[in-house]
Structure 1
Amino acid sequence: MPETTAASGKTPEPGSPYDHVIVGGGAAGSVLAARLSEDPGCRVLLLEAGPPDTDPRIQQPHGLFAGLLRGELDWSYDTVPQEQLGGRRVPLSAGKVLGGGGSINYQVWFRGHRLDYDGWAAGGMRGWGWDDVLPAFRRSEDHELGVSDLHGTGGPVPVTTPKDVSPLSLAFITAGVENGLALNRDFNGAELDGAGLVYSNIRDGERFSASRAYLHPAMDRPNLDVLTEAQVVRVLLEGTRATGVEYRRGGSTERVHADSVVLCAGAVRTPQLLMLSGIGPADHLSDVGMDVVHDLPGVGSGLQDHPAAVVSWPVTRGETWLDALSESNQTLYDRQRRGPLASVGQASAFLRVTPGAPAPDVSAMPMLIDLLGESVPGFSCMVTVLAPRSRGTVRLASTDPVDPPLVDPRYYEDPADLELVVGGLRRALDICGSPVMDAFIGSPSFPPATDDAALRESVRTSTVSFNHPAGTCRAGDDQDAVVDEFLRVHGIRGLRVADASVMPSLPRGNIHAPTIMIGERAAELMRTA
């Protein structure tokens, strides 16, 4: 089997090992590679299983509706049959391209609530409370609101509101206010509650993934090598020390060595790679025929996701996302980077359904498309539990790295999650039943009835994933934690994890911004620990 210390077009000094090999060029991996290579004396290799982020659909925000999701740039996972969803398998997308999910996702920029991070710190992830992570968030941002205690400017990631807002999105915000919600001008400000416009990682009408924001400006550094279409299949170990990785590229298998290995492959692939390396729950590894190198029971456990139940209506007036694909809108975008193709996520609402909840527990996000296909043109609202209690697993299907792992989120296994989403559906129906929405939509096409039993059944029928898997390599100091507060894998020297899998619990919102923050914090910690 060939050995290599040079894995890109650049030619390092012969025999000189890398200081760090980063596995996965998604949000955290792109950040980490760029930040670590700022030190000219630090040699960094980034390995990405997918291709470069050169597909023109990535650049256009609306491109995710042009085949990015479930296409060749998507790992296109499916869950195992979900008991609470009548045995349905739920599609789960993850980017297989430089930029990862950030190259194919919805592009909204939510940090979550300060209680989310204070909860991480209180649960054993010391040094990750809100006051600890806020500087990393600010460092990443180039925020259109300017510098403040909560926001930063001059960072790699543009944080902007849409320039051309759909009347349907504005009507949804107005309807939320009419139904008692506060008008929230900044979901990343002091409060999360309310209805308002969302911020996105878009600049001048173009998507800014982490690879575009962080990695591309660093590509010319002589100490950074980036190799795409290189699928890592296991971590190389000498005893309980990581010494490099093995990867497949172009029909051959290669090895590369480094002083440290950092897994940034996401909450599905990272635990799979650990288990393929013999690190994980011993009973499961033995059952699938994998030699156990280090019994670490928490690997692949604690899987969380944001499942979303859907309400839909026919659109009687106004332009939907399907209409946005017209030739005139494409021309407007090509010439000015304006119009409906220059943004996707525009509005949202964060609600407290449970009396006395310390923070919003449900979100309602409008989509200018019928996600269920009941009516064309259509309008949908995705309702999700922000802090789900249900926990699932990622497990090996076999010892073959090509076989996708078994992903079991166990959606709504905790009955409290189901009751919360039902309560959120009622609020969404109330909001979209407001008079201001009557000018744009008709009566709901789904669900057909709104009594408790019908709403629960609609949840089982309509639930989709927000594609926010997290928690499968949880950070902490208890026996089920996989990494410590410095993101070092317990019991394995020279090996870290830095992606959404280390989250002890999901933040209240989309996880792209928190994952970039994890990359920023990981770089900071690796310089000092």
Structure 2
Amino acid sequence: MFTKQHHPLAAGDIVNALEAALYRGKIGRRRFMQLALAAGASLSAVRAMAQEGGDAAITQLYNAQALKDSYDAIVVGSGTSGAVVAARLAEAGAQVLVLEAGETDQVEAVLNPAMWPTNLRSERDWGHTADPADSVNGRSLILPMGKVVGGGSSVNVQIWARGHKSDFDMWAAEAGDDAWNYDSVLEIYKRIEDWQGAPDAARRGTGGKVWVEQVQNPCPIAPAMLDACESVGIKAYADMNGEMMEGDGGAALANVRIKDGRRVNIAQTYLYPVLRQGNVTLLTGAHVTRLTLEGTRVTGVDFVKDGAAHSVSAGRVVLSAGAINTPKILMLSGIGPKAELDRINVETVVDRPGVGQGFQDHVLVAGCIWEYNEPQAPRNSLAEATYFWKSSPDLDSPDTQPFQIEVPYATEVTGPQFNPPAAAWTISPGLVRPKSRGRVYLTSNDPMAMAKVDAQFLSHEDDLTAVIRSIEKCREIGNSAPLSDFVKREVMPGALSADEMRDFAKNAAGTYFHESCTCKMGQDDMSVVDANLNVYGVEGLTIADASIMPRVTTGNTMAPCVIIGERAGDILTA
């Protein structure tokens, strides 16, 4: 169970939060000036910010009240990829409407890095749950997804994990386009990043718009875990996104999207700066029900806001609704497997059998837990040290990514079974190259009904084997000498028989909340989009979110989703 942690705000941090609230119309210009001056900002800076932020709020209020009948582009979803592609289109001069089903991100649960767990199952979470599965002992695993401005970048753990070199080379091979390979993607990362850590001119960028730093002032247990990893043969690196992710893996402190002690979501980086432009409108509380089509050309979208139905047209629609809701919208619009559409009485417009298929997510085991000798307060986002490693030496790249979590982390089964004390810490075994595949499907044509997910976690025997090996490696690390000062006792799982360990793995399995791959990019019959992210058989429709991944990346998915948004921006503005 996670615990809340509150950080005092620095003066600059307060001003940043006030400025974001001003941009979203949550406070007025005069009140902003009063509070920002009281926080210590200079009069000239406050006046400039008040002018720009006030203009943005007024522009957004006007645009929302005077919706156009038609836009150059409609972006469905303001999440990690959607915020990027919307900003890229707006910067190119397009008239852009961004439709977000959720509401504002200007709340403490989003802004405070340590409060991220409080977003789960809140109004900022779509509330999806996987179907019960025998492969996890009949359990129904929760599948949180952001329903808020900024999407997943507003509610998850702020980790900036680029992915492994082999991920993007595999994507390029699947797409038949070298623009997706590692060398090409690395150039995008270098272009957009403002990396605050150890210089690495070959791999890291500075001066870009995307702030990335290594965790600041980490809990002492985090560097101790790196020493523990080295004691069992896992090399520690200064940067989790540098050389380490071009080879066999290693251990490192986390790269994060935290600045001055506050979360920096992707909307703040990309979307907020264009909100004062008259050519972009962010409409929150807008639930898209279907795409409108003329034949096989998408002409716009239907959506509901405040109980009223709206229909808006566009020259291009970009679906960035996430790996569950993007295939849902496609199927409700008649684009998907014909047999599935027939079952829910939706007329098939384009038969694409891959829509909703191939669901993937990383497995996160909750967890291997030790009681502290002396309690340590968690810092940053509660998770500061990680490692990538192969569960089998014959693999070509790492398939596991455990994270150290500075509080006890157990499931609804293992928590009552082992009763971990509050003063405890966790290493959570993680599987980041799953072979199990699930699907997203609909049970009705009601657009307000939730899509269903048959996730099939650990259904492939190789996945269960890899998870068990990861548990064993985490226990070896947690019980090693470099962590002994932090250990009073091992709480769970302890030494178990082979059958007991299989049962523990199934009862402790959870997810990293990295839902993906349900509208994959590729060239085979099950692919949904081509290398340019256009939907096969459909005109005027782009998909830009984690659903297009041919295989989920090795590690947390925020950074690769920014890449997807940037690639969409490059393609659509070329």
- Both proteins in one fold, TM over 0.5: yes
Q: Distance in 2 between matches of 1:278 and 1:357?
A: 40
Q: 2:269 — aligned with what?
A: 213
2:163 is aligned with 1:92: no
Q: Distance in 2 between matches of 1:361 and 1:271?
A: 27
Residues 285-340 of structure 1: CA distance to partner in whole angstroms, max 9, x if unpaired?
111222211111000001000012233324233445xx55xxxxxxxxxxxxxxx3
CA apart distance, 1:492: 0.6
Counterpart selection for 1:230 from 286, 290, 297: 286
Q: 1:33 — aligned with what?
A: 86
Q: 2:355 — aligned with what?
A: 299
SS at match of 1:54: coil
SS at match of 2:119: coil
Q: 1:337 — aligned with what?
A: none
Q: Distance in 2 between matches of 1:155 and 1:319?
A: 39
2:148 is aligned with 1:110: no
CA apart distance, 1:125: 4.7
- Please tell me the root mean square deviation across aligned C-alpha atoms, in Å: 1.8
Q: 1:240 — aligned with what?
A: 296
CA apart distance, 1:345: 2.7
Residues 215-252 of structure 1: CA distance to partner in whole angstroms, max 9, x if unpaired?
11111011111101101111111110000000110010
CA apart distance, 1:162: 1.6
Q: Relative to 1, partners in 2 of residues 1:286 and 1:14: Cα closer, same or farther, differing over 3 Å?
A: closer
2:547 is aligned with 1:501: yes
Q: Distance in 2 between matches of 1:7 and 1:482?
A: 34
Q: Distance in 1 between matches of 2:304 and 2:373?
A: 52
Q: 1:62 — aligned with what?
A: 114
Q: Relative to 1, partners in 2 of residues 1:15 and 1:350: Cα closer, same or farther, differing over 3 Å?
A: closer
CA apart distance, 1:157: 1.8
Judge conservation of contact 1:179–1:431 (CA < 8 Å) in 2: yes
Q: Relative to 1, partners in 2 of residues 1:452 and 1:500: Cα closer, same or farther, differing over 3 Å?
A: same
Q: 2:496 — aligned with what?
A: 450
CA apart distance, 1:436: 2.2
Judge conservation of contact 1:147–1:153 (CA < 8 Å) in 2: no
SS at match of 1:445: strand
Judge conservation of contact 1:245–1:256 (CA < 8 Å) in 2: yes
Q: Distance in 2 between matches of 1:139 and 1:68?
A: 31
Q: Distance in 2 between matches of 1:184 and 1:14?
A: 51
CA apart distance, 1:174: 1.2
Counterpart selection for 1:77 from 128, 131, 135: 128
Q: What is the letter of the counterpart of residue 56 of structure 1? A: E
Judge conservation of contact 1:313–1:442 (CA < 8 Å) in 2: no
Structure 1 residue runs of 4 or more that deviate by more than 6 Å after TM superposition: 11-16
Judge conservation of contact 1:125–1:475 (CA < 8 Å) in 2: no
Q: What is the letter of the counterpart of residue 112 of structure 2? A: Q
Judge conservation of contact 1:30–1:99 (CA < 8 Å) in 2: yes
Q: Distance in 1 between matches of 2:176 and 2:355?
A: 16
Higher mean C-alpha displacement, 134-143 vs 281-290: 134-143
Q: 1:466 — aligned with what?
A: 512
Question: Relative contact order, CA 8 A, sep 6+: which one is greater?
Answer: 1
Judge conservation of contact 2:92–2:573 (CA < 8 Å) in 1: no
Higher mean C-alpha displacement, 147-156 vs 10-19: 10-19
TM-score (structure 1 length as normaliser): 0.92
Q: 1:158 — aligned with what?
A: 211
Judge conservation of contact 1:124–1:477 (CA < 8 Å) in 2: yes
Q: Distance in 1 between matches of 2:319 and 2:172?
A: 22
Judge conservation of contact 2:372–2:425 (CA < 8 Å) in 1: no
Counterpart selection for 1:187 from 220, 236, 240: 240
Q: 1:412 — aligned with what?
A: 458
Q: 1:259 — aligned with what?
A: 315
2:530 is aligned with 1:484: yes
Q: 1:143 — aligned with what?
A: 195
Gaps of 5+ in 2: 1-58
Q: Distance in 2 between matches of 1:247 and 1:56?
A: 29
Q: Distance in 1 between matches of 2:436 and 2:110?
A: 33
SS at match of 2:361: coil
The number of residues matched between the two structures is 503
Q: What is the letter of the counterpart of residue 168 of structure 1? A: I
Q: Distance in 2 between matches of 1:485 and 1:345?
A: 35
Judge conservation of contact 1:168–1:318 (CA < 8 Å) in 2: no
2:100 is aligned with 1:44: no
Residues 274-294 of structure 1: CA distance to partner in whole angstroms, max 9, x if unpaired?
011111000011112222111
Q: Relative to 1, partners in 2 of residues 1:516 and 1:318: Cα closer, same or farther, differing over 3 Å?
A: farther
Q: Distance in 2 between matches of 1:154 and 1:411?
A: 40
- The structure with the largest helix share of the pair is 2
Higher mean C-alpha displacement, 279-288 vs 123-132: 123-132
Judge conservation of contact 2:368–2:471 (CA < 8 Å) in 1: no
SS at match of 2:208: coil
CA apart distance, 1:495: 0.5
Q: What is the letter of the counterpart of residue 148 of structure 1? A: A
Judge conservation of contact 1:391–1:410 (CA < 8 Å) in 2: yes
Q: Distance in 1 between matches of 2:67 and 2:532?
A: 32
